[in-house]
Structure 1
Amino acid sequence: MMKGLKKWRLFSLLAALTIFLSGCGEEYLSTLAPAGQVGRDQFNLLLLASAIMALVIIVVVIIYVIALTRYSRKKVGENVIPKQVEGSHTLEIIWTVIPILLLVILAIPTVYYTYKHADVAAMDQVDEEGNKTHLTVNVTAKLYWWEFEYPELGIVTAQELVVPTDEQVFFNLKAADVKHSFWIPSIGGKLDTNVENVNKFYLVFDKESAGLEDGVFYGKCAELCGPSHALMDFKVKSMNRDDFNEWAEAMKTTVHTAEGDLAKQGEELFQTASCIGCHATGGEGMAPQTGPSLATFGDRNRVAGFMDHTKENVKAWISDPQKYKPGNVMPDDTELNGGKEFTDEQLDALAEYLMGLSIEK
């Protein structure tokens, strides 16, 4: 009996710790620290639902405790039967009306925000010159990476979404292979990306990401899509509108020139090894692309979306991509290098070249 009680005590302690730890999280990744209007609306709905549930639990516990204390056998004796209230119209009305009221209180803001966040009419608004007044990003989810196309700007990025702050940013979401789900926990979402249709919604980014620990917000795939689903991350850089315009202009005019002998060797190898057939190195372009754009590879903080951004990890990824992200479609080095594995010297050259693909340095 005592062993059973100890187990229940341990279980209760773990349950309490889970509740407290659920409130812990980094600002760049936590839904409990919203940094956008959509995320804040969703967070407020979560608080409302939690408050209603807590209220119901407290009332039930109070009634339960009163029943235990007032009608215990020690107090009223063995043969006392409490007054029976079965069929009481008053009680029937109370426990029918109160749940309905609670549901209405929860349903009204839920329905309101559901329609508000699904309203994408402003996506097609144009000014007097015929230019769109809001930024639109076409998001394509692929195994296991993300492509972001800015159709009005004529640029394409991969693995890093760059957006302006303090305005609505609209998204067209689709998948190139299987179902995925687009989610930026700190900002809002999530919404599925399907092969058959395009889903649309908008987000608002209130905070510039430069002040965050890693300088970015983290986005994720929230739909199980294959063996490397957990590694299908992307990063979000949010900046003020002026900085965003400068970034976009830099992307449009990107011309990478390899500096140093080693980087030049890497550039030549990148061309001859057919890497250029799948990966663009310029910011301008139109989706879709077979592989992620590498135009800003040197500015990223991760390799393949999840590995530390170091030359050693670049070399490891090129050598054996299946080891680190099973199921991805990138060929191994023997397919790229005429049936031979890349030598250490070749890998050093490729890593040097790729790390130099930057528009921010």
Structure 2
Amino acid sequence: MMKGLKKWRLFSLLAVMMVFLSGCGEDYISTLKPSGQVGKEQFNLLMLATGIMTLVVVIVSVIYLLAFLKFRRSKVGENVIPKQVEGSHTLEIIWTVIPIILLLILAVPVVTATYKFADVAAMDEVDENGDKTALTVNVTAKLYWWEFEYPNQGIVTAQELVVPTGQKVYFNLKAADVKHSFWIPAVGGKMDTNVDNLNKFYLEFDKESKDLKDGVFYGKCAELCGPSHALMDFKVKALSPDAFDTWVASMKATDGKMPDKTSADLGEATFAQSCMGCHAVSGTSGPGSKGPNLTAFGDRNRVAGFLEHNEENLKAWIKDPGQFKPGNLMMNADGTAPIYGDLTDEQIQALATYIMGLSVEK
């Protein structure tokens, strides 16, 4: 008896903890605190489904308890058999029609929302000059980082998606290697990025991210993609439309920027010799680089998507990327050394200082 009571106590404790923990979501990452129109509609659908399921559970539980109490042996006796309702057309109609109604109540808004979120026809609309009017971002998921290209603006960046508030942002989603999944929990999503086909959808950002913890929304890969899947994060900086236009202009201003192998700056020279084959420092360099575009690295929120953004962590990353993200493509095939070879401590220090200084916002 006591053993059974202990189990019920544990169950009760877990139930209470779930209630309290459900309120611990942060604005920058919680689906329960949506910050965009898509996220809000998806949240409403979640609440509708939860409400229907709760109603069914409550009604079934009440019927069960009433039957349990009304026909218990201590009340009706040992040899009493309750009236049998097998074959009752009335009851069969009731428990057939009610589930159909509940399914329709849930299905209609879900199907409507699905088609609404899939409507990306505005991506092809143009103004009188033939310029596309919608903001489109081409997202390419790679092992284990994200590339963001703005084709209409002619710029590209990585790891930190920058978007304006108050308008629809359309996404073309694809993967460069294996299947990934693009998800910004607080804003909406998610959707797979595949190698063989292009997925499209849109999101809306209702508020700027500057007042959030770390000043960004958190993005995730929601598809198991390899040993460092859990570390395949990206960040989203939501700006006012004017601030976004300023950022775009700053990115365009880096056009033609190229590190010099003969520079007196050891960091720049080292970058030109060891890093330039995979990384660009111009926001207009175009998509398809082997490694993330580093034009705005100094403005980012994290090193490698998850390490605190400081020079010490960057030096540790440069020295041994495989220690932090197993399976990343900065390492040789055997995983024993970086593809750019060994660098001296002096070169690593200078390189980290140079990369941290790459900024379009300062």
Q: What interval of TM-score do these two structures reach, taking the shorter chain for normalisation?
A: over 0.9
Deviation at 1:101, TM superposition (A): 0.2
Aligned to 1:96: 96
Distance 1:123 1:335 in 2: 39
Which deviates the most, 68-77 or 288-297?
A: 68-77
Which consecutive residues of structure 2, in runs of 5 or more, have no partner in the other structure? none
- The whole-number CA distance in structure 2 between the counterparts of 1:95 and 1:331 is 61
Give the Cα separation in 1 of the matches to 2:331 and 2:281. Answer: 18
1:36 aligns with 2:40: no
Measured against aligned partners, the alpha-carbon deviations of 1:99-132 in whole angstroms (never above 9, x if no partner) come to 0000000000000000000011111001111111
- SS for the counterpart of 2:313 is helix
TM-superposition CA deviations, 1:246-298 (whole Å, max 9, x none) = 1000000027799xxx992211111122x011100111121111100000100
For the 8 Å contact 1:137–1:150, the answer to whether it is kept is yes
The answer as to whether partners of 1:334 and 1:342 remain within 8 angstroms in 2 is no
Secondary structure of 2:153's aligned partner: coil
2: CA distance between counterparts of 1:207 and 1:76? Answer: 63
Contact 1:220 1:232 in 2 (8 A): yes
Q: Is the 8 Å Cα contact of residues 298 and 355 (structure 1) preserved in structure 2?
A: yes
Instruction: Map 1:41-190; keep pairs closer than 5 Å.
Output: 41-190=41-190
Shift of 1:16: 4.1
Separation in 1, partners of 2:119, 2:340: 46
The corresponding residue for 1:312 is: 312
Give the deviation of 1:334 after TM superposition.
5.9
CA distance in 2, matches of 1:106, 1:263: 66
Shift of 1:335: 4.1
Residue 18 (str. 1) matches residue 18 (str. 2): yes
Structure 1 residues 263 and 102, CA gap change in structure 2 (3 angstroms): farther
The Cα of 1:343 is off from its aligned counterpart by 2.5
Indicate if the aligned counterparts of 2:321 and 2:338 stay in contact, CA closer than 8 A. no
2:247 is matched with which residue?
Answer: 247
Instruction: Give, in whole Å, the separation in 2 of the partners of 1:197 and 1:359.
Output: 33
Q: What's the counterpart of residue 346 of structure 2?
A: 345
Q: How many angstroms apart in 2 are the aligned matches of 1:94 and 1:336?
A: 71
Aligned ranges for residues 207-222 of structure 1 at < 5 Å? 207-222=207-222
What residue in structure 2 maps to residue 235 of structure 1? 235
Change (3 A) 1:139 1:263: farther
Deviation, 1:13, is: 2.2
Question: Which AA in structure 2 matches 1:146?
Answer: W
Distance 1:263 1:91, change over 3 A: farther
CA distance 1:141–1:257, shift in 2 (3 Å):
closer
In structure 2, distance between residues paired with 1:292 and 1:108: 42
8 A Cα contact 2:258 2:282, kept in partner: no
Residue 340 of structure 2 aligns with which residue? 336
Q: Distance in 2 between matches of 1:232 and 1:314?
A: 17
Q: Which amino acid aligns with 2:191?
A: L
**Is the CA contact (8 Å cut-off) linking 1:178 and 1:195 kept in structure 2?**
yes
Alpha-carbon offset, residue 151 of structure 1? 0.6
Go from structure 1 to structure 2 and tell me whether the alpha carbon gap of 1:20 and 1:56 turns closer, same or farther (over 3 Å shift): farther
Moved more, 64-73 or 149-158: 64-73
Could you tell me whether the CA contact under 8 Å between 1:42 and 1:188 is conserved in 2?
yes
Structure-1-length-normalised TM-score = 0.94
CA contact (8 A) 2:330 2:338 kept: no
Relative distance call for 1:83 and 1:334 in structure 2 (3 A) is closer
In 2 relative to 1, CA 52–334 (structure 1 residues): closer, same or farther, beyond 3 Å? closer
Return the letter of the residue paired with 2:162: V
Q: Give aligned-pair identity as a percent.
A: 68
Displacement after TM superposition at 1:315 (Å) = 0.5
Distance, in Å, in 2 between the alignment partners of 1:40 and 1:334 is 44
| Maintained 8 Å contact 1:263/1:352 | no
Name the structure 1 match of 2:276.
276
> Normalising by structure 2, what TM-score?
0.94
Distance 1:335 1:107, change over 3 A: closer
- Structure 2 letter corresponding to 1:336: Y
- Separation in structure 2 between the aligned mates of residue 54 and residue 283 of structure 1, nearest angstrom: 51
Return 50-59 or 89-98, whichever deviates more. Answer: 89-98
- In the alignment, the residues of structure 2 paired with residue 360 and residue 240 of structure 1 have an alpha-carbon distance, to the nearest angstrom, of 14
Structure-2 separation of matches of 1:53 and 1:17: 21
Q: Where does structure 1 lack aligned partners over 5 or more consecutive residues? A: none
Deviation at 1:162, TM superposition (A): 0.5
- CA RMSD after TM alignment: 1.8
Distance apart, 1:159 and its partner CA: 0.1
Give the whole-Å Cα distance in 1 for the aligned partners of 2:321 and 2:311. Answer: 15
On the 8 A contact 1:180/1:225 being kept in 2, the answer is yes
Cα distance in 2 for partners of 1:26, 1:290 equals: 34
